Structure 1
Amino acid sequence: MALSTSLHSPVKIVSDWFVRPHRIPPGYDQPIHLPPWDMAMLNIHYIQKGLLFAKPTEVADPESFMSSLLDNLRHSLSLTLVHFYPLAGRLATLQRMDDGDKPFYTIYISCKDSPGARLVYATLDMTVSDILSPTYVPVVVQSFFDHDKAVGHDGHSQSLLTVQVTELEDGVFVGCSMNHCVVDGTSFWHFFNSFSEIFRAFTGGKTDFEVISRPPVLERWFAGNRKGPMNLSFRDAGEFLDRFEAPVLQERIFHFSAESIAALKARANRESETSKISSFQSLSALVWRSVTRARKFPAHQVTGCRLAANNRHRLDPPLSPDYFGNSITPVRTSATVGDLLGNDLGWAAWKLHLSVANHTSEVLMAWNENWFKTPAIYKMLETFDPSSVMLGSSPRFNKYGNEFGMGKALALRSGYANKFDGKVTGYPGREGVGSIDLEICLPVSTMAAIENDPEFMGAVTV
């Protein structure tokens, strides 16, 4: 079995287990057919996000602490999978030739006979300070996650979910790696929050520890009252897989206080003579302008800013906020470098606002109709061009509310997955109350330029 660490990684795998639901829920043996928004992710890396905790100082016996933590996590994961049982399955392919030699090729989730989700225990002879003190995120953090460089299609043979627990000398990292064909960011953190909620109830001695506050809606949504299976019209996976390898990048976390975010929002709305521009649109405009300036593109070059948009509330009628699956598409805004940098922050923020406002139910239904006519799988090299930036995840997700008996996490970190030149990931700041952390990935020279950009660094909070 492939491990998440390379031969040269200092992270050592101690043990691992496969975990199935505590009890078999209704529908567990039935195939789960994937709609277009899920299918489109077959070539995209797993989502890899996790939390770094300090070991509780009152622990007298570290070995006993870790043994107890792992036992509690394993049992809590089993209980959580009762609600999120698709994560205990594997992908499967149904393939046949129809009349006229027309290929029928579809992929679905099968939980029947699956070994379950994976739980990994690993160790690392480093400290919390070794991880958090450097200016740039250490490469070793990538080894805190399973499914290194795996894409959605690899869920045929690999777990759809792995929880990796990495013990440091004075800390613990709890990282989740989840197949992007099965979940988007909203569903990823819905699972993580429920996992933490069940852990808290189970270890707290509650008798109803299997109950969660937000049960997921597992029935997949298909546009136009269609039902699965959906035909991809391929003959084999080689027609759509293109293993993306990221270039050499630096990764840095930039912090923006609530006061800094409020000032950016006020500035963008003032310059655009409106009150409609949001905090995140203002911050996204700042990043778009600053990264573009750092790249030193010519004025005629077209550059773009993509925002990963949650579609649940945009559909008419809307999907439940607890819909479990992918309901996400990128919203792209473009401009020439000359226009983007020749105008003010408000001009860029207003363009982003209009793109988001025009991302309507009609647009989403048209996307689905086009997919039914010509099924397409996202390819990193085609989807994320090097002249653009893309902002993913969301600072609105409840990320620091997951504690697992160790108190509030010290930091959020991510793995290798879906990193490229210009990828930006939004996290809530640890202090909350409107603060935001941005994880920005750039080549060395571009990172150095943005770190010397007065407009950008003037908004960053030390």
Structure 2
Amino acid sequence: MASFSFTVLEQSAVSPPTGADLGEPLPLTFFDIMWMTSGAVRRLFFYRFPHPTVHFIDSVLPALKSSLSTTLHRFYPLAGKFRCSDEDEGKLEFRYKEGDSVPFTVVEYDGDFDDVSGDHGRAVSKIRPLVSELREDLYEDMPLLAVQVTVFPNKGFVIGVKISHIACDGRSFIHFVRSWAAVCRAESSAESLPSFDRTMFKFPEKLGTATPGDVKHFFESNKQPKKSTTSNDDAMFVLKGFKLSKGDIEKLKQRVLLSAKTVRCSSFMVTCSWAWVSLVKARAYNAERKVQLLFQADARQRLNPPVSVDYFGNCIRPCFAEAVVSDLIGENGLAFACEAIGNGIKELEVGVFNGCDEWGNRFLKTEQPMAVTSSPLFRVYDADFGWGRPVKVDVASLGDSPGVMSLTESRDEEGGIEFAMSLEENEMAAFDSFLLLALDG
């Protein structure tokens, strides 16, 4: 087996421009507090660059770092930390202090760029080292962002961005990355400015703010042992990408509508249903068992009053789809799955905070639920830093959560969808075969 090596070329830090007028500290909202025990989100953006490392260092790296500095001025909370308020130690906030910075690591890797950036099953152990560490075992003064650039000489490079989920949701994460890319290619006006206005939120009284003591308890009671990047457990899990063309999606929709004409069936719903049914079959659950699919709904335009679509922070709520295994594995399983997902969406019609007291319990009561993250609406492939669109975008943090699927738009076809999932190698083989059977059936 070939042995590849990582060489750290640079470890530095990037801050907003000196003397920049940064905004006020931001208080945590209920939507932020929901994600306190979640790990950071790690995305990988793969780019072709058939030049030597020295050319990358001279021609690409300075632009990446200077544009990041400019972008941190606009997205200033990410340059700061999650910390206690200076004015009131009983309050928590995101705040930038002079001297704060974002760790920026540059690594050279002599591995196979095409191997780690493809859709085929890749060992999670190959993906983990492409994102730098971000300390997540703190409950105060916790950094929110880290960047690692990995250079594959004469092949390409990877921008690995790691953001604490306490700071923002997926829409905000990608808004930041696309804005950074636009500044880097000298088209800063291509992306809108973020909004940090939190005065518009009207939370129910029972949804109070967390105290530092609460946060300390959350972190200490949910500590997980850190995995080695070369552990045997990692080697057993693979991350694999899948694609649905616009034609594939229409084919699946028609199948659902033929078996249940009253079921609403969007591209999101049928893609999630296709994967959910296939995973249930791959795991060979008991036919009488109840299973659950968890997905997130953007609350920005569902709140009263609505908040800006450019709001930066967390503004999502969980939705739950539940079904009996025997229904999902039967002849009309896709239709049953779509109906269950539709019922989860209908809960939003009562209000964004409907059932919020039970969100945690509903998730925890089901063993091994499947979950969906990200969205085709985020336009991840628009992250062009000036050297072309990404050849691949992955969510490296899927390796921490087997059974979680990440959705993106198709890179090559309008109306198509891509998704990725991490599973144990044997389970992935079964999942893959059931996906193909469902598409051909």
Q: Under TM normalisation by the shorter chain, which class is it?
A: 0.7 to 0.9
Q: Secondary structure at the match of 1:313?
A: coil
Q: Indicate the SS of the match to 2:314.
A: coil
Q: Please state how far the C-alpha of 1:13 moved relative to its aligned partner.
A: 2.1
114, 126, 131: which one aligns with 1:145 = 131
Q: Deviations over 1:314-363 (max 9, x none)?
A: 21222211010001122111112122223511121122122113223624
CA deviation profile, 1:385-409 (whole Å, cap 9, x unmatched):
5432111111221111112121122
Q: Give the secondary structure class of the aligned counterpart of 2:56.
A: helix
Distance in 2 between the 1:253 and 1:286 partners? 14
TM-aligned CA deviation for residue 19 of structure 1:
1.4
Q: Which moved more, 1:232-241 or 1:435-444?
A: 232-241
Instruction: Kindly provide the amino acid, as one letter, of the partner of residue 10 in structure 2.
Output: S
Match of 1:181 among 147, 166, 173: 166
Q: Distance in 2 between matches of 1:353 and 1:422?
A: 21
Relative to structure 1, the CA distance from residue 181 to residue 418 in structure 2 (aligned partners, 3 Å threshold; closer, same or farther) is farther
Q: One-letter code of the match for 1:91?
A: F
Structure 2 residue runs without a partner (length 5+): 228-232
- Evaluate the alpha carbon distance shift between residue 229 and residue 316 of structure 1 in structure 2; reply closer, same or farther with a 3 A threshold: closer
Instruction: Tell me, yes or no, if structure 1 residue 215 matches structure 2 residue 215.
Output: no
Structure 1 287/303 Cα, relative in aligned 2: closer, same or farther at 3 Å?
same
Deviates more, 1:440-449 or 1:35-44: 440-449
Two-structure CA RMSD over aligned residues (Å): 3.2
Sort the Cα spacing of 1:123 and 1:235 in 2 relative to 1 into closer, same or farther, 3 A. closer
Which of 373, 393, 410 is the equivalent residue of 1:429?
A: 410
Cα separation, partners in 2 of 1:189 and 1:24, compared to 1, 3 Å: farther
Q: Secondary structure at the match of 1:358?
A: helix
Q: In structure 2, do the counterparts of structure 1 residues 132 and 95 end up closer, same or farther at CA, with 3 Å as the change threshold? A: closer
Secondary structure of the residue aligned to 2:107 is strand
Q: Cα deviation per residue 1:283-329 (whole Å; 9 max; x = unaligned)?
A: 11111111011111111211111112211122122221101000112
Q: Which residue does 2:147 correspond to in 1?
A: 163
Which residue is 1:120 aligned to? Answer: 105
User: Is residue 280 of structure 1 aligned with residue 271 of structure 2?
Assistant: no
Deviation, structure 1 residue 110 = 1.9
CA distance in 2, matches of 1:360, 1:189: 27
Q: For 1:174 and 1:110, locate their aligned partners in 2 and report how far apart those are by CA, in whole Å.
A: 25
| 1:104-137: CA deviation from partner (whole Å, max 9, x where unpaired) | 8543212113422222211101232232458312
Q: Is the Cα contact below 8 Å between 1:253 and 1:437 reproduced in 2?
A: yes
Matched, 1:364 2:353: yes
| Alignment partner, residue 255 of structure 2 | 267
Q: Paired residue for 1:71, among 62, 80, 91?
A: 62
Aligned partner of 2:93 among 108, 132, 148: 108
How far has the Cα of 1:282 moved from its partner?
A: 0.7
Give the equivalent residue in structure 2 for 1:236.
Answer: 216
Aligned residues: 425
Which residue of structure 2 lines up, in the alignment, with residue 49 of structure 1? Answer: 43
Give the conservation status (yes or no) of the 8 Å contact 1:141–1:414: no
Amino acid at match of 1:300: E
Aligned residue number for residue 353 of structure 1: 342
1:251 CA drift (Å): 1.6
Residue identity matched to 1:35: T
Q: Distance in 2 between matches of 1:268 and 1:333?
A: 17
- Name the aligned partner's letter for residue 276 of structure 2: W
Verify the 8 A CA contact 1:89 1:114 in the aligned structure 2. no
Deviates more, 1:216-225 or 1:177-186: 216-225
Which residue of structure 2 aligns with residue 196 of structure 1? Answer: 181
1:314 to 289, 296, 302: 302
Other structure's SS at 1:390 match: strand
Among 9, 14, 21, the alignment partner of 1:19 is: 14
C-alpha separation in 1, matches of 2:373 and 2:365: 12
Structure 2 counterpart of 1:340: 328
SS in structure 2 of the partner of residue 359 of structure 1: helix
Provide the identity percentage.
24
Match of 1:292 among 269, 280, 284: 280
Supply the AA of the counterpart residue of 1:14: L
Residue segments in structure 1 that go unaligned for 5+ positions in a row: 1-7, 98-103, 202-208
Q: Does 1:31 find its partner at 2:20?
A: no
1:85 lines up with 2:76 in the alignment: yes
Change beyond 3 A, Cα 1:12–1:274: farther
**8 Å contact from structure 1 (residues 43, 243) kept in 2:** no
Q: Say if 1:10 and 1:140, in contact at 8 Å, map to a contact too.
A: no
1:128 and 1:86 map into 2 onto residues whose CA distance is 33
Partners of 2:122 and 2:319 in 1: CA distance: 28
Pick closer, same or farther for the CA change 1:155–1:27 going to 2, 3 Å: farther
TM-score if structure 2 supplies the norm length? 0.86
**Change beyond 3 A, Cα 1:218–1:211:** same
Q: CA deviation at 1:195?
A: 0.5
Q: Which residue of 2 aligns with 1:101?
A: none
Q: Is the 8 A contact 1:315 1:364 kept in 2?
A: no
